[in-house]
Amino acid sequence: MTDTTEEADTIGDAVTCEAPFPIVTHRGTTSLAGRPPGATVDDNLLVRGSSGLREPGGSGSEPPPPDSLPRPAPTPLTRDNPGASGFNGLTHRDQLLAGTGEYEGTQLSVEPPDVPLCVGNGFVLQAVNLAVTAYDRRGDRLVDPIPLNQFFRLAPFADPETGTINEFTSDPKCYFDPEVRRWFLTVLQADERPENASANTRSHVELAVSKTDDPTGEWNLYEIDTTSDGENGTPEVAGCPCLADQPLIGTDKFGFYASVNLFSFEGLQFQRAQVYALQKSALLRGDVPNVDVLDVPLLEGAGVSLQPAIIPPRGRFEEKRRGTEYFLSSVIFGLSEQRISLWAASNTRSLERCAPDLELDQVFVPSQLYAQPPPALQKPGRTPLRRFLKRLGFDEPLERLNTNDVRMQQVYFADGKLWSGLNTAVGDPERAGIAWFIVEPSVRRGLDAWVVNQGYIALDDTNSVLFPAVAVNARGQGAIGYSLSGPDFFPSVAYSLLDERGAGLVHLIAEGAAPEDGFTGYTAFGGNGVSRWGDYSGAAVDDDGSIWLAAEYIPDLPRSMLANWGTFIAHVSRDARDPEPPCR
């Protein structure tokens, strides 16, 4: 493609191109408007279930040998939470009963929830796998949960009479960009359930961009074709047409980025990862953006699930090399590893031109040991669904919680460093823990990086912590939110403070009220004793530098027949501190 005008002198100036980018379309507008808060609906959809797309590998697969496990000292746990508060977020019952008009009664039971979170301008936006809602900072809902399919103006998720999926969606992500004061929300989409895909099935990333800094206002809708079969302007990737699984999002000064893992519709086999880079200024104007698609080499298992970096309020994007967006990934295919991977997409300013030309570089960074995590145990308690199944002849054990694998979780670029974490096995005895990393990148003379600090969060005995989400403010003060479960705990929510010196105590802020008792782990529904959990938690930095965290747990709230998961949203102030150790 060639320019028909000179390159824009400032970011945001429109540049007219000779040909459009058919891979992205503008689909109109939407809003969170739905049923007003507090309206009631009939609880009549409690027997329809769908487990969603199951990730390959991860917990429940062959464990790493005992001599390849990290063995950190247990992290002390406290129930004191000075400077922190919180409230219940979306539950399984909320997402199941969401919907108005033609969308009412079209949701299905889904595990796991997936728990993205974004905050800004006095608002808290939360999504789960099939629904989204907004709160004020006090935790008051501003609108009742709305189905993601309704928000994105897609067909209802399922047929209310048969339970057949009409238009499959999953894996929501959101981010409030503090520089441009706009909200970004994405979801994976496929024309039908991936396991039933045909030769004509197409896959997309649905993208919504708010028109103002108010998420309850109007949004522009975009659709990115990620089928990667050479049709509709997509690149042709061997093994595709493909589903673009678990889109991971971030922005820099010039671009919006969605990293995806491509799975062939035939057999749902992993093919490769891709990064979709979109012109941010065009998205903010409501125009169709310039696009560049970056193919990601596998590189010994590092080229999977690249996590784009996001910045906090008053943070700074990397502008060297004509704009650079950083990504972190782990090496996920081995049983244990002592490297992580830094990626840099440079020349992002070229997204302002009609022929973007980004370059993707990679370097391995030596790190602490991490290993594929085992499923998490949980404390015994009341399990009504399990008891009901026993009456039907299914003698189900108490479920364990899936910890998936060692893929890198959410990444913040703050104080000149990249902050993130992942699930890992720790022992002895073997259980799930968290490995966290603080990495300083450099692009001055080629791509380079080094670990500034790293460490583990691990409980004693066989109690586990899982699915970390890291958020760090511009001063380098942050927190890690996660789920906590084990023989001594029902699934709960906890957090640890984080700065360059390391991670602090385990703060138990929301104690679970019962065991996980959802359908995906039970053999009656095709499970293997390990319930879906996660697949990720959420964390965000507010305008004042405080930290918000969201994770899955089991609340003392009304449940549905097939699942009892809920979420908790915690708010950690800038002044939160761990207690000083006693003098000796």
Rounded to whole angstroms, how far apart are CA atoms 411 and 422?
A: 10
DSSP single-letter state for residue 192: S
Q: Residue 12's pLDDT is what?
A: 58
How many C-beta neighbours within 10 Å does residue 413 have? Answer: 26
Q: Which two tokens stand for residue 155?
A: 């067909």
Q: Residue 237's pLDDT is what?
A: 96
Closest CA to 54 of 219, 242, 268: 268
The neighbouring-strand residues paired with 26 are: 222
- Cβ contact 187:219 at 8 Å: no
Rounded to whole angstroms, how far apart are CA atoms 469 and 482?
A: 6
Compute φ and ψ for 576, nearest 5 degrees. Answer: -65, 135
- Cβ contact 425:433 at 8 Å: yes
Intervals of the chain under pLDDT 70 = 1-16, 18-20, 34-62, 66, 581-584
- Cβ contact 568:509 at 8 Å: yes
Q: Residue 107's pLDDT is what?
A: 95
Helix, strand or coil, per DSSP, at residue 529: coil
Asked if residue 112 has a cis previous peptide bond (ω within 30° of 0), the answer is yes
Q: Residue 332's pLDDT is what?
A: 86
Q: Residue 20's pLDDT is what?
A: 65
3-state secondary structure 46-93: CCCEECCCCCCCCCCCCCCCHHHCCCCCCCCEECCCCCEEEEECCCHH
Q: Residue 51's pLDDT is what?
A: 34
Closest CA to 463 of 435, 483, 437, 479: 483
Q: Which two tokens stand for residue 349?
A: 């300013």
Q: Residue 581's pLDDT is what?
A: 57
Residues 6+ apart with CB under 8 A from 388: none
Q: Residue 36's pLDDT is what?
A: 45
Total residues belonging to the chain: 584
